[in-house]
Amino acid sequence: QKEVEQDPGPLSVPEGAIVSLNCTYSNSAFQYFMWYRQYSRKGPELLMYTYSSGNKEDGRFTAQVDKSSKYISLFIRDSQPSDSATYLCAMSAVRLGRGSTLGRLYFGRGTQLTVWP
Amino acid sequence: DGGITQSPKYLFRKEGQNVTLSCEQNLNHDAMYWYRQDPGQGLRLIYYSQIVNDFQKGDIAEGYSVSREKKESFPLTVTSAQKNPTAFYLCASSMGSGVTSTDTQYFGPGTRLTVL
């Protein structure tokens, strides 16, 4: 079983729809959770970052973490064609110091999203 | 203008040749990483370095080598021993200072390597 599972899609929605992207994970030590957006043939860019459980909102984007279920979500409200990209979830464990899990991120496979006008 | 640069953007290599991919950052980050991305496979960690003159193997280090002689530079060499090197290669960096770092990684624009 992979550390992080993410449905690769593809996901296709009309403009204005609410999009829900999800990841599950198996390692209960994960504490830091991130969502990256990657446009075609570009490097990923950090979209959202959350620590431990809870919600975080930034404009049209909301990140949710449910550590009891080992489940994280990214919601996009009022989706736009410019949101069309691949969305990657990533997570890391509590920092235990140099030589252990320091700096190590575990990525999902990414979900390809298309928002059509 | 801070950030991470990778060069070249596109690279073509003949079988049996070694090639070196460049990664430079001016973010004053301690930690740097190399990933490989294949279609539908997400990011796989090749090597990472938490400090100058030190680096660790990731999940798929075979056929690759790195060096970290300067804080801002982390070149990746794809050797002829790498069986299937055609892929999109991404370099990243993070603060990794051991004080307030969140392990958040920032990525370069990538290098697309094609073996002919």
B51 contacts on A by Cβ (under 8 Å): 98
**Residue B6: closest C-alpha in chain A:** A43
A88 touches chain B (CB under 8 A): yes
Tokens in use for A36? 């990256």
Tokens in use for A74? 């990214």
Work out the widest C-alpha separation in chain A, in whole angstroms: 48
C-alpha triplet A81, A55, A78: angle, nearest 5°: 20
Residue B103's pLDDT is 60
Rounded to the nearest angstrom, the minimum Cα separation between A80 and chain B is 23
Residue A94's pLDDT is 59
Cβ density class B36-61: b for 16+ within 10 Å, e for less: bbeeeebbebbbbbbeeeebeebeeb
CA B18 from chain centre, in angstroms, equals 15
Q: A22, A85 in Cβ contact below 8 A?
A: no
Residue A88 burial by Cβ neighbours in a 10 Å radius (0-12, 13-18, 19+): buried
Return the number of CB contacts < 8 Å for A and B. Answer: 68
Residue A74's pLDDT is 97
Whether residues A102 and B105 touch (CB distance < 8 A) is answered with no
Residue B73's pLDDT is 97
Within A9-117, residue ranges assigned H as helices are none
Residue A25's pLDDT is 95
10-residue stretch averages of pLDDT, chain A, 117 residues long? 85 96 92 92 91 90 95 97 96 60 77 96
Digits of tens for pLDDT over chain B (116 positions)? Answer: 569 999 999 999 888 899 999 999 999 988 899 999 998 778 999 999 988 999 989 989 999 999 999 999 999 999 988 888 999 999 999 886 444 445 678 899 999 999 98
Number of other CB atoms surrounding residue B81 within 10 Å? 11
B112 contacts on A by Cβ (under 8 Å): 41
A30-38/A85-93 β-pairing: antiparallel
A94 touches chain B (CB under 8 A): no
